[in-house]
Protein backbone atom coordinates (compact mmCIF):
# COMPACT_ATOMS: atom_id res chain seq x y z
CA UNK A 1 0.00 0.00 0.00
CA UNK A 2 1.33 3.42 -0.90
CA UNK A 3 1.96 5.95 1.84
CA UNK A 4 -0.51 8.80 2.16
CA UNK A 5 2.55 11.08 2.03
CA UNK A 6 3.71 9.73 -1.31
CA UNK A 7 1.92 12.12 -3.66
CA UNK A 8 1.71 15.61 -2.13
CA UNK A 9 4.86 15.47 0.00
CA UNK A 10 7.07 13.98 -2.71
CA UNK A 11 5.85 16.62 -5.18
CA UNK A 12 6.42 19.45 -2.69
CA UNK A 13 9.97 18.26 -2.04
CA UNK A 14 10.65 17.97 -5.78
CA UNK A 15 9.32 21.49 -6.39
CA UNK A 16 11.50 22.85 -3.59
CA UNK A 17 14.66 21.29 -5.03
CA UNK A 18 13.86 21.66 -8.74
CA UNK A 19 16.81 23.14 -10.60
CA UNK A 20 19.04 23.09 -7.51
CA UNK A 21 20.37 19.54 -7.93
CA UNK A 22 22.40 17.85 -10.64
CA UNK A 23 20.61 16.68 -13.74
CA UNK A 24 21.09 13.00 -14.41
CA UNK A 25 19.97 10.02 -16.41
CA UNK A 26 18.94 6.58 -15.22
CA UNK A 27 19.30 3.90 -17.90
CA UNK A 28 17.70 0.49 -17.69
CA UNK A 29 18.28 -2.42 -20.04
CA UNK A 30 15.22 -4.11 -21.41
CA UNK A 31 14.79 -7.87 -21.40
CA UNK A 32 17.15 -9.83 -23.59
CA UNK A 33 15.82 -11.78 -26.53
CA UNK A 34 17.00 -14.69 -28.65
CA UNK A 35 17.70 -14.35 -32.39
CA UNK A 36 16.71 -16.87 -35.06
CA UNK A 37 19.88 -18.88 -34.35
CA UNK A 38 19.13 -19.13 -30.63
CA UNK A 39 21.85 -16.66 -29.67
CA UNK A 40 21.02 -14.22 -26.85
CA UNK A 41 20.62 -10.59 -27.90
CA UNK A 42 20.79 -7.75 -25.37
CA UNK A 43 17.62 -5.78 -24.76
CA UNK A 44 17.35 -2.14 -25.72
CA UNK A 45 17.97 0.56 -23.14
CA UNK A 46 15.36 2.96 -21.80
CA UNK A 47 16.60 6.27 -20.41
CA UNK A 48 14.82 8.26 -17.71
CA UNK A 49 15.90 11.82 -16.87
CA UNK A 50 16.22 12.58 -13.17
CA UNK A 51 17.76 14.97 -10.65
CA UNK A 52 19.89 14.19 -7.64
CA UNK A 53 23.35 14.24 -6.14
CA UNK A 54 26.26 12.01 -5.21
CA UNK A 55 27.22 11.56 -1.56
CA UNK A 56 29.66 9.35 0.34
CA UNK A 57 29.10 6.83 3.10
CA UNK A 58 30.52 7.44 6.56
CA UNK A 59 33.28 5.17 7.84
CA UNK A 60 30.79 3.80 10.39
CA UNK A 61 28.21 2.83 7.73
CA UNK A 62 30.91 1.32 5.51
CA UNK A 63 32.13 -0.84 8.40
CA UNK A 64 28.67 -1.87 9.62
CA UNK A 65 27.09 -2.55 6.21
CA UNK A 66 30.17 -3.81 4.38
CA UNK A 67 30.04 -1.04 1.78
CA UNK A 68 33.31 -1.01 -0.22
CA UNK A 69 35.42 2.16 -0.23
CA UNK A 70 34.88 2.38 -3.99
CA UNK A 71 31.08 2.72 -3.73
CA UNK A 72 29.15 5.98 -3.47
CA UNK A 73 25.66 6.91 -2.36
CA UNK A 74 23.69 8.23 -5.34
CA UNK A 75 20.52 10.08 -4.29
CA UNK A 76 17.70 10.65 -6.77
CA UNK A 77 14.54 12.69 -6.16
CA UNK A 78 11.66 10.30 -6.70
CA UNK A 79 9.35 12.87 -8.29
CA UNK A 80 11.91 13.55 -11.05
CA UNK A 81 11.53 9.98 -12.32
CA UNK A 82 8.46 8.84 -14.26
CA UNK A 83 5.68 7.35 -12.15
CA UNK A 84 6.37 3.72 -11.30
CA UNK A 85 10.11 3.86 -11.98
CA UNK A 86 12.15 2.92 -8.92
CA UNK A 87 15.94 2.53 -9.15
CA UNK A 88 17.11 -1.08 -8.97
CA UNK A 89 20.20 -3.25 -9.24
CA UNK A 90 22.13 -2.96 -12.53
CA UNK A 91 20.56 0.37 -13.53
CA UNK A 92 23.18 2.71 -14.95
CA UNK A 93 23.15 6.24 -13.58
CA UNK A 94 24.92 9.29 -14.94
CA UNK A 95 24.91 12.27 -12.59
CA UNK A 96 27.26 15.20 -12.03
CA UNK A 97 29.35 14.04 -15.00
CA UNK A 98 30.03 10.68 -13.33
CA UNK A 99 28.84 7.20 -14.34
CA UNK A 100 27.63 4.58 -11.88
CA UNK A 101 26.10 1.11 -11.83
CA UNK A 102 23.50 0.56 -9.12
CA UNK A 103 24.42 -2.17 -6.63
CA UNK A 104 21.19 -1.91 -4.63
CA UNK A 105 18.53 0.47 -3.41
CA UNK A 106 19.57 1.10 0.19
CA UNK A 107 16.92 3.49 1.47
CA UNK A 108 13.74 5.27 0.49
CA UNK A 109 11.71 7.57 2.71
CA UNK A 110 7.99 6.96 3.39
CA UNK A 111 6.98 9.57 0.81
CA UNK A 112 9.18 8.04 -1.94
CA UNK A 113 10.70 11.50 -2.23
CA UNK A 114 14.36 10.41 -2.18
CA UNK A 115 15.93 7.18 -3.32
CA UNK A 116 19.38 6.31 -1.93
CA UNK A 117 21.30 3.90 -4.12
CA UNK A 118 24.59 2.18 -3.35
CA UNK A 119 26.47 2.47 -6.63
CA UNK A 120 29.88 1.64 -8.07
CA UNK A 121 31.49 4.29 -10.25
CA UNK A 122 32.51 3.18 -13.73
CA UNK A 123 35.06 4.98 -15.82
CA UNK A 124 34.15 3.64 -19.26
CA UNK A 125 30.82 5.47 -19.74
Residue-wise pLDDT tens digits, 84-115: 999 999 999 999 899 999 999 999 988 888 99
CA distance 68 to 57: 10
- The answer, yes or no, to whether residue 13 has pLDDT greater than 80, is no
Q: What is the pLDDT of residue 4?
A: 55
46 neighbors 76 (Cβ within 8 angstroms): no
Q: Any bridge partners for residue 50, and if so which?
A: 24
What are the structural domains, with CATH classification, of the chain? Answer: 6-30+43-122 (2.40.10.270)
**Phi then psi for 83, rounded to 5 degrees?**
-55, 130
pLDDT (average), residues 13-38: 83
DSSP label of 35? -
Per-residue pLDDT of 28-85, as tens digits, reads 988 778 888 888 887 788 999 999 999 999 999 999 999 999 999 999 998 899 989 9
Nearest partner of 93 among 125, 67, 71, judged by Cα: 125
C-alpha 3: how far from chain center: 20
Amino acid sequence: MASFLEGPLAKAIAVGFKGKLNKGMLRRSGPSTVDSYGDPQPGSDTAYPCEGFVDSYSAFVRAQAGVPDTDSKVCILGATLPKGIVPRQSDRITIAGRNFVAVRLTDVDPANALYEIQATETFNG
